[in-house]
Structure 1
Amino acid sequence: MLILAGLGFSSGLPLALTGSTLQAWLVTEGVDIRLIGAFSLVSLPYSIKALWSPVMDRFVPPFMGRRRGWILICQLLLACSLIAMAFLSPSRFITLLAVLAFFTAFFSASQDIAFDAYRTDVVSENEQGTGAAASVMGYRIAMLVSGAFAMVLSDHIPWKAVYILMGTMMILCCILTLTAPEPAEAQSIPRTLKDAIYLPLKDYFSRPRALPILLFIVCFKLGDALAGAMTTPFLMDLGFSRSDIGLVYKTLGLASTLLGAMAGGALTARLGLYRSLWIFALFQAVSNFSFVLLALVGKSYFLMIGTVIFENTTGGMGTAGFIAYLMSLCNPAFTATQYALLSSLTAVTRVMSGVPSGFMVASMGWAKYFLVTVAGAIPAILLLPAVVPPAVADHQRR
């Protein structure tokens, strides 16, 4: 379980370094807000990681086995790319920095594929809940380190030193991979790459409502993604310092997300998956109104704290219910590839919504922009009756 927590840390560390922390670095260097919004494209590999997940199932590295071997390769590449990013000034090498950030996201998404498969293989059936909790704990701590800690640290040392430190941490994560046990009974390796690609897809698309379900997965976090794409530039534009954002938005937001996730899990168990998804979808829509209010009032620490708590708590609740829904869709025979496919679709919304976000803010202002994020939650609510009939959801929950 300690190994799973450590590998969860390794999995979560790069995310903010190509997302919100990188945005803060670009804002500090005076990069245009429209270009900052377009930088969301560097996270595209998280959305399309299912495309190469069969390759990592089919081929085995010549050392340390199929799971640990791929994890170690990705960790070493991540350490190199993060340290290389440290030596590029956004004001002088913006294109090269974007390319390196893209490859960092690619290596990170690949590590996620290998780690998800490793966690599935290494724990027994009665350890799955504990193993998931251990890895989530490590993942969230890593997000705190590369988000809040990095933001606060950047107020005191250069951004170059911050990214070198993060790359060094990734090197240390390699030690955990070297000491991790290889799964005693790994899943059978597909005979051909064609089998690794075709059979999981055939199983999924033979189901009723397969395409509407995919559309629902893309839309469920649309409102959250639109708000999250511009949250850091929004708070900085209101006059909050990077330390304010790191200590309040990142730290308090993370704690609120964890509390929301626990509450979401409890509600899902008590009310059932279908009814819970209705509640979570509505809460996510309502929570974005707090950003509208903050945009109208201006800089207010009290309102900022309330907004952070409300938005992250409801977001955590939605995430807990949504993960339960994704798990209910997976065939145990193809969990690794199918979960990679479905989870990568959840990232499509986050990545693609960030592209026009800077242009939207520039043309309509913050208050109207966050009203649009409220409307972004409506498509998923409209799709819910079609993709999760009550009888099916309750049967899956039992």
Structure 2
Amino acid sequence: MPRTTQRRSWRDALTVYRQPPVVAMLFLGFSAGLPFLLVFSTLTAWLRDVEVEVAAIGFFSWIGMLYSIKLFWAPVVDRLPLPLMTRWLGQRRGWMLLAQAVIATGLVGLASVDPRNSLTVVALLALLVAFGSATQDIVIDAFRIESASETVQAAMASTYIIGYRGGLLAAGAGALYIADMASWHAAYLSMAALVGVGMLTVLLRPEPPRTALAVQLVHEPRVRAFLRRAEHRPRWQRRLGAWLIGAIVCPFTDFFSRYGRQALWLLLLVGIYRISDLSMAAMANPLYIDLGFSLSQIANVTKVFGIAMSIAGGVLGGVLVVRYGVATMLVIGAALAAATNLLFVALALSGAQLPMLVVTIIGDNLANGLASTVFIAFLSSLTSRAYTATQYALFSSLMTLPGKFIGGFSGVIVADQGYSVFFLWAALLGLPAIWLAWRLGRQPGALDSGRMSQPTAD
């Protein structure tokens, strides 16, 4: 069972941000954050701006469920080499560059269609972007964990969140500004060009060291047992069987063997921790628009100012995790993320009051920036370096699936009950996560792995 972390000085907690792998995550975080809003809240703002029905917009949040099933192709990304690209760039960087090319292709396609006449085409292109984005997430998560020691994972999570929020700023405020001044088509074409930031980062950063697949498989007891049983089979069958066991079976058995019966409680926490904020996210922009705020006001407050608050929350979360540990901060993050839904209730009831919008965005983005950083550090601490891509994909898939599924019905609830009832319901959804984080945190060593106790240079 993991050991408990020791409290460190504020100076030690802050100096970790100077390490090169930590700084690099700013740019990869940007690359990960850029496509997300373009198939989610920015897309819903576009659809509502051209008067697509709100009930139909709610179902577009199901596109985000593609992020929640990336577990199914994560073993392929983790283990299968790409022709030429893996030899040239390495396993992680090759897959990352391919995913970014898919994202750019999908965004260029979206820039060329009109949602009023081709809503189905818009959905298909959004799915393409989401698939490329989810694949990129698989690789970046593995790249982050493998690129530096476990002692700096909390800081890397924090800078990743900062970069991610920068990508959201570009895809949120940037896209809205361009759409307001020019057109939605110009906005999406501009976002396709910004994919180049991630591509350049891939080319500049080194491939992280990894144990060769053949060496790793030889040390897997289940693989060795299979090879003994299959010694009379053709060589290609033995190699394929060993690959499948090592890529698909071993990542899951490794996790359950390390955590035992407690693994189920940990997976449950992963599944429900973000359910409150993910289930409400699709209705935020429609709320602003229906209240009467202009696109420029939405961009100024919810994107520019909101992203700044998210970055502040992310930095604060990274420092507090190192200072006080994962267990305490998980409970605080879950409580804050759920409680800030009540600000949206107040906003819906108050109408188009700009000061209330500012207060809502301050609370929501600070809380979510902090909670996201804490949760990424928590997930990284659960992940074995032998199976980074597959195990982290399992955790992140579980993290998003319940909230995304529930979010698909958000438009129906708003149309039937109104925004205030919907956001109150979203706040109540966060209560189980608060209780479970508190329950696991009371068990010594259950959540704090001790991996972030001392900083090291890299």
Contact 1:27 1:233 in 2 (8 A): yes
4+ runs deviating over 6 angstroms: none
The count of aligned residue pairs is 397
* Residue of structure 2 aligned with 1:50, choices 36, 49, 71: 71
Q: Which amino acid aligns with 1:263?
A: L
Q: Which amino acid aligns with 1:162?
A: A
- Tell me which moved more, 24-33 or 326-335: 326-335
Q: 1:389 to 1:327 in 2, by over 3 A?
A: farther
Q: For residues 203 and 394 of structure 1, what CA distance do their matches in structure 2 show?
A: 18
Output one character per residue of 1:202-230: Cα deviation in whole Å (capped at 9) or x when no partner: 12233223223222222112221233221
Output one character per residue of 1:325-376: Cα deviation in whole Å (capped at 9) or x when no partner: 2223223332332112102221213421221000000111111111111111
Q: Which amino acid aligns with 1:186?
A: R
What secondary structure does 1:396 align onto?
Answer: coil
**Equivalent residue number for residue 399 of structure 2:** 346
Q: 1:396 to 1:177 in 2, by over 3 A?
A: closer
**Equivalent residue number for residue 59 of structure 1:** 80
Q: Which amino acid aligns with 1:188?
A: A
Output one character per residue of 1:68-94: Cα deviation in whole Å (capped at 9) or x when no partner: 111111111211111011111111111
Q: For residues 379 and 150 of structure 2, what CA distance do their matches in structure 1 show?
A: 18
**Equivalent residue number for residue 115 of structure 1:** 140
Q: For residues 437 and 157 of structure 2, what CA distance do their matches in structure 1 show?
A: 27
Contact 1:152 1:247 in 2 (8 A): no
Q: 1:325 to 1:129 in 2, by over 3 A?
A: closer
Matches within 5 A, 1:12-91: 12-61=33-82, 62-63=84-85, 64=88, 65-91=90-116
**Equivalent residue number for residue 304 of structure 2:** 251
Per-residue deviation, 1:16: 0.8
Contact 1:229 1:353 in 2 (8 A): no
Q: For residues 210 and 161 of structure 1, what CA distance do their matches in structure 2 show?
A: 47
**Equivalent residue number for residue 187 of structure 1:** 211
What secondary structure does 1:6 align onto?
Answer: helix
**Equivalent residue number for residue 279 of structure 1:** 332
Q: For residues 200 and 438 of structure 2, what CA distance do their matches in structure 1 show?
A: 47
Per-residue deviation, 1:4: 4.4
Q: For residues 8 and 286 of structure 1, what CA distance do their matches in structure 2 show?
A: 26
- Tell me which moved more, 237-246 or 264-273: 264-273
**Equivalent residue number for residue 361 of structure 1:** 414
Q: For residues 67 and 321 of structure 1, what CA distance do their matches in structure 2 show?
A: 25
Matches within 5 A, 1:265-304: 265-304=318-357
Contact 1:151 1:243 in 2 (8 A): yes
Matched, 1:95 2:120: yes
* Residue of structure 1 aligned with 2:180, choices 118, 140, 155: 155
TM-score (norm 1): 0.92
- Tell me which moved more, 281-290 or 11-20: 281-290
**Equivalent residue number for residue 220 of structure 1:** 273
Q: For residues 311 and 246 of structure 2, what CA distance do their matches in structure 1 show?
A: 38
**Equivalent residue number for residue 255 of structure 2:** 204
Contact 2:315 2:370 in 1 (8 A): yes
What secondary structure does 2:70 align onto?
Answer: helix
Q: For residues 269 and 120 of structure 1, what CA distance do their matches in structure 2 show?
A: 17
Alpha-carbon RMSD across the aligned residues, in angstroms, is 2.2
Q: 1:175 to 1:331 in 2, by over 3 A?
A: closer
**Equivalent residue number for residue 261 of structure 1:** 314
Contact 2:279 2:406 in 1 (8 A): yes
Output one character per residue of 1:25-46: Cα deviation in whole Å (capped at 9) or x when no partner: 1001111101100001111221
Matched, 1:11 2:32: yes
Per-residue deviation, 1:283: 2.2
Q: For residues 256 and 314 of structure 1, what CA distance do their matches in structure 2 show?
A: 9
Output one character per residue of 1:95-147: Cα deviation in whole Å (capped at 9) or x when no partner: 11101101110111111112222333344667656655554433221111011
- Tell me which moved more, 111-120 or 47-56: 111-120
Name which one, 1 or 2, has greater alpha-carbon Rg.
2
What secondary structure does 1:347 align onto?
Answer: helix
Output one character per residue of 1:175-226: Cα deviation in whole Å (capped at 9) or x when no partner: 443343333x333226513211111101223322322322222211222123
Matches within 5 A, 1:315-354: 315-354=368-407
Q: Which amino acid aligns with 1:82?
A: L
Q: For residues 33 and 388 of structure 2, what CA distance do their matches in structure 1 show?
A: 21
Per-residue deviation, 1:252: 1.4
| Unpaired segments ≥5 residues, structure 1 | none
Q: 1:130 to 1:257 in 2, by over 3 A?
A: closer
